[in-house]
Amino acid sequence: MADGGELETAKPPHGPFLVEDGEWAGWRYWVGGDPYEDLSGPFYWRQEADGSVRCAFRAEKKHMNGGGFMHGGCMLTFADYALFVIGRAALSDGYAVTVSLNGDFVGPANEGDLVEATGEIIRAGGSLVFIRGLIATGGSPMMTFSGVVKKVKRRG
């Protein structure tokens, strides 16, 4: 117990973890890195045989809008997650923040759909990384996105 008489709660470990069984066997996910993503997801990623990165999640009721389709805010949150996973090789030496995120919605997703994002680094400079990608379900495009991520020093 802490000095104030409250029970201490263990913080989950940080980092990417490999899923060993179930639907997501062979995929990785982050724990404890971003509370908003933890609440919004779970989101997963894996590196493909060709070296590209694929991000994915299963659409749940919590991801839907009032019309029963995936909420645009959910797609943008997933696109932001994908920016950092796709760009992680260029961002591996520190922290980064999203400077710009643009998206064009081109199709829906329904509860239960497998939603996937792929993309590429367009340019990686000294402090800025430019990335673009596509979110799709069942081979049908849902959203194109592009973004700029800035490398930053972590505030104390």
Rounded Cα gap, residues 28 and 38, in angstroms: 13
| 107 burial via Cβ count (<10 Å: 0-12, 13-18, 19+) | middle
Residue 100 maps to a domain: yes
Confidence of residue 5 (pLDDT cuts 50, 70, 90): very low
Residue 146 maps to a domain: yes
Contact by Cβ (8 Å): 113, 59: yes
Q: Which domain holds residue 137?
A: 15-152
Query: Residue 25 maps to which CATH number?
Result: 3.10.129.10
Residue 115 maps to a domain: yes
Give the residue, 8 or 122, on which the prediction is more confident: 122
The pLDDT of residue 1 is: 37
Residue 120 maps to a domain: yes
The pLDDT of residue 7 is: 41
Residues paired with residue 141 on neighbouring β-strands, in sequence order: 136
Give the tokens for residue 59: 């659409």
* Total of domains in the chain: 1
The pLDDT of residue 17 is: 84
CA-CA-CA-CA torsion sign (46, 50, 52, 56)? negative
Contact by Cβ (8 Å): 122, 132: yes
Instruction: Count, in order, helices (H) and strands (E) of the chain.
Output: 3, 8
What is the pLDDT averaged over residues 12-41? 81
pTM: 0.87
Residue 85 maps to a domain: yes
- Sorted by sequence, the CB contacts under 8 Å of residue 51 that are 6+ apart come out as none
Mean pLDDT of all residues belonging to the chain: 88
Residue 67 maps to a domain: yes
- Sorted by sequence, the CB contacts under 8 Å of residue 142 that are 6+ apart come out as 70, 75, 105, 106, 107, 108, 109, 115, 135, 136
Residue 3 maps to a domain: no
Residue 2 maps to a domain: no
pLDDT digits (tens, 9 = 90+) for 68-126: 999 999 999 999 999 999 998 898 877 899 999 999 999 999 999 999 999 999 999 88
Give the residue, 32 or 16, on which the prediction is more confident: 16
Alpha-carbon distances, residue 61 vs 6, 66, 67, 96, 151 (angstroms): 34, 10, 11, 31, 34
